[in-house]
Structure 1
Amino acid sequence: MKLRELRAERGVTQDQVADAVQVSKSLIAAFETNRLAPQQDTATALDAFFGTGDEIQKLSTEARKNRKPGPSWFRPWRDVEETAVILRYFQATLIPGLLQTEAYARAIFASTGMLSDDEVAERVANRLERQSAILDRADRPTFAFIIDAAALRCGPPEIAKDQLLHLADTSARSNILVHVVPDSAGLHPGRNGSFALANMDTGSAVGLLDDFYEGRVIAEPMRVTGLERTWQTIAGFALPCDQSRDLISKLVNDYDDPATKLAQVQP
């Protein structure tokens, strides 16, 4: 990508470019090393910033033609995410990938202990690129996220608080619904694992099941129907959007409560 050359010519830093086009520094670094190609809106913003007409847009379009970031097993689901009209995600233990902050995603990948610093950086960049590509789609699909309350309390305080603030901000978008399953729900089908569902404009639906090593796309009608039934059951335990947002806000406020801070450091 010509981005590094342009940046050197203009004498600007990665941070300055990132701020100008409203993406993270990690994404700018990934663009410069050809690990990722900017999406159309980001490429347009970069052309405007550098005054390069549509040069970066053309380069990014060509680079994206035969390449999707992320592991090979995930690419079919990326195709689904880019065309679905309704996307639903249930997460039992973590904040969904599409709603993660950069710091939270980095902590998740680093916690495996099996990735080098460069591999962690690349995976974080891939995740941020996916967020930009899917959440900011021009045709505005409907997103619904159900998150178990336990996932909201996962992570060190300095990361978790910012993650919850980001979650609350994102849930304010009109096409993004965030529901929380409270602790009072007890045992429910979602305890069996996380999954996602996508409805296409053709009327068909597909699912994605998480695994320890990788996920798999589910297209068999009977299995998709099973995921649909599980989703509906979990949704019955979840709080409405406004109450979910209130719970998230309460957890944010708890991080500023001295009593809560003291409890967090107790053995």
Structure 2
Amino acid sequence: MADVPHPLAAFIVGEIRRARGAAGMTQEAFGRGAGFSASHVSAVEGETRALTMDFIKGADRALSNGGLFERMVAKLGMPSWFLPWLDAERAAAQLRVFQPSLVPGLLQTESYGRAVIRCDDTLSDDEVDRRLAHRLDRQGVLTQANAPQFIAVIAEAVLRRAGADFRDIMAGQIKHLTTLAERPNISVHVLPDEVSMHVGLTGPFSLARLPDHKWVGQMENQLGGVVVDSDTDVDTLVSRWETVRNEALSRRQSIELIEEVGTSWT
């Protein structure tokens, strides 16, 4: 199961520890109810072991609280529909992302990510900070041991979208993108502007291939998103991925174009 990102994890762990104490439960007794060893409970509470959704669900069972902590994560940390995708993203052997309008979240700089999240003017400063911290924490999947192969296809227009008040942010993002694209496990392919009509115009999507070779797909929209794992839906996304990937430039051609665009921002 996916790790809960910091700083949310520290907060949830603290609440679980307090609830366990209030219930008069030792770590051993709590672990029996949650399905974990006492040493595992101790490591999570001491923040030397990652807090996972499995542990949170176990804590809810042990404390018989009606799923309180799972609801807290959904409310404070991430939408419930997104949790299965986080699980897939963390476990994936390969990730594929098509993005026609933005730099993919796993490749964003802090400044670019903040600017994107800030587009929603209903969010408070604290909420923007929380969402940004979560996004940056997710990026660790690309540098962890046994990191997945990450392949992204992005539209050329994404690289060239920068008004006067966004130039410095975009210049930093382009430089970061160029650096990441040189990593052995990361490939970035640019879909050139001259390909004016393609199946990807219907929206962004991601695919994760798990160690058991099963595929999971994810699509976002204005109201949230959906995670799919049925053979029919996944086959459709894989087919569309192959179409947009075939229209994109090679890895080396893409890096050269990204560098060329970066020069125009400096």
Is this contact kept in 1: 2:13–2:45, CA < 8 A? no
| Residue type of the alignment partner of 1:161 | A
| Residue type of the alignment partner of 1:149 | E
Shift in CA distance, 182/135, structure 1 to aligned 2, threshold 3 Å: same
The number of residues matched between the two structures is: 212
Shift in CA distance, 31/210, structure 1 to aligned 2, threshold 3 Å: closer
Cα drift, residue 33 of structure 1: 7.0
| Residue type of the alignment partner of 1:142 | Q
| Residue type of the alignment partner of 2:146 | D
Shift in CA distance, 166/35, structure 1 to aligned 2, threshold 3 Å: farther
Which structure has the larger Rg over C-alpha atoms? 2
Secondary structure class of the residue paired with 2:221: coil
Secondary structure class of the residue paired with 1:146: strand
CA distance in 2, matches of 1:129, 1:63: 13
Question: Which whole-Å deviations, capped at 9, do the CAs of 1:88-135 have from their partners, x for residues lacking one?
Answer: 000010000000000111111111111011100000000011111x11
CA distance in 1, matches of 2:128, 2:258: 28
Secondary structure class of the residue paired with 1:93: coil
Secondary structure class of the residue paired with 2:197: coil
Secondary structure class of the residue paired with 2:224: coil
| Residue type of the alignment partner of 2:152 | F
The aligned residue for residue 107 of structure 1 is: 115
Unaligned runs of 5+ in 1: 1-26, 38-54, 257-267
CA distance in 2, matches of 1:161, 1:169: 13
Cα drift, residue 159 of structure 1: 0.5
CA distance in 2, matches of 1:32, 1:112: 25
Out of 136, 161, 168, the position equivalent to 1:154 is 161
Q: TM-score, normalised by structure 1?
A: 0.73
CA distance in 1, matches of 2:168, 2:190: 22
| Residue type of the alignment partner of 1:99 | L
Percent identical residues: 36
Unaligned runs of 5+ in 2: 15-42, 57-69
Shift in CA distance, 72/31, structure 1 to aligned 2, threshold 3 Å: closer
CA distance in 2, matches of 1:202, 1:180: 29
The aligned residue for residue 24 of structure 1 is: none
CA distance in 2, matches of 1:56, 1:200: 26
Shift in CA distance, 248/217, structure 1 to aligned 2, threshold 3 Å: same
Out of 66, 80, 88, the position equivalent to 2:88 is 80
Shift in CA distance, 161/95, structure 1 to aligned 2, threshold 3 Å: same
Q: TM-score, normalised by structure 2?
A: 0.73
| Residue type of the alignment partner of 1:219 | D
Out of 129, 136, 142, the position equivalent to 2:149 is 142
Cα drift, residue 62 of structure 1: 5.7
Shift in CA distance, 237/57, structure 1 to aligned 2, threshold 3 Å: farther
